[in-house]
Amino acid sequence: MFDLTGKTAVITGAGSGIGAAIARLFAQRGAAVVAVDRDPGSAASTTAGINATGGRATAQTCDVADPAAVGALFAALGSNGRVDILVNNAGIAHVGTIEQTTPEDFDRLYRVNVVGVYLCARAAIPLMLRQERGVILNMASIASLIGLPDRFAYSMTKGAVLTMTRSIAVDYMKRGIRCNCICPARIHTPFVDGYLARNYPGREAEMMQTLSDYQPIGRMGLPEEVASLALYLCSDEAAFVTGQAYPLDGGVTAV
């Protein structure tokens, strides 16, 4: 089950955290992985680890908010082969209410989290239509399902990702393309560690516990757990699933 042999999977934000975990798992299941990241060193690190363990991966540098860069990336991918799976994982965060969100903050999050998903999906869909099949998986958030304090701009972008997911699913379900999204709660990634070190020096352990306690299950999720759900949704075993938003939240939306 969950065999991706013969498929090419393009994963954005694959340089670390959730994206890197998805890239590693997909490669283990036989996919040829294209690890896309704005930081060339991070993308190269992910692919080096995959190739060293017998997988197949190539690194691509791309700012998903740049239309020309995205267009060039997918033009090259289309001329050289297939794009069977697109995982729109690249994204950035912001903490603050609407009063604490400047127009510059708002625009920055919109460009990466919303426009980036739009540009990559828009570039991938013609290739998938040519193949008469494909899967798009977007990374949303529980912030797209419920209200979270101090996450105004971030929640706005993830709400847009969820509705884009459903729109793509409806428009292309009869043409062989499925589209779903995952809505995680807090996931323990290097971003979390960096955030705590910058904002709570000397109190990292205390704040880590606070962040963990937010999930009723008592901990943050792991990137590998998100990757496991991503594998299912991008595999043929999920052929009957499209237009859905899957919470992966440790019980947050259940209570």
Q: What is the DSSP letter of 229?
A: H
249 CB contacts (<8 Å, ≥6 apart)? Answer: 142, 183, 184, 185, 215, 221
Cα separation, 127 vs 115, whole angstroms = 19
232 catalytic per annotation = no
Going by the DSSP 8-state scheme, the letter that residue 14 receives in this structure is T
Q: Are 90 and 111 in contact (CB under 8 A)?
A: no
The b/e string for 45-80 (b: 16+ C-beta within 10 A; e otherwise) is: bbbebbeeeebebbbbbbbbbbeebbeebbeebbee
Instruction: Return the bridge partners of 244, or none.
Output: none
Which residue type is seen at 178?
R
- Name residue, tokens 């290739």: 127
Of these residues, 154, 195, 214, 232, which one is catalytic? Answer: 154
- Two structure tokens written together for 181: 């999204």
217 contact partners, CB below 8 Å, separation of at least 6 = 250, 251
CA distances 146 to 99, 108, 151, 194, 223, Å, are 20, 22, 11, 25, 21
Residue type present at position 66: D
**Which of the residues are catalytic?**
154
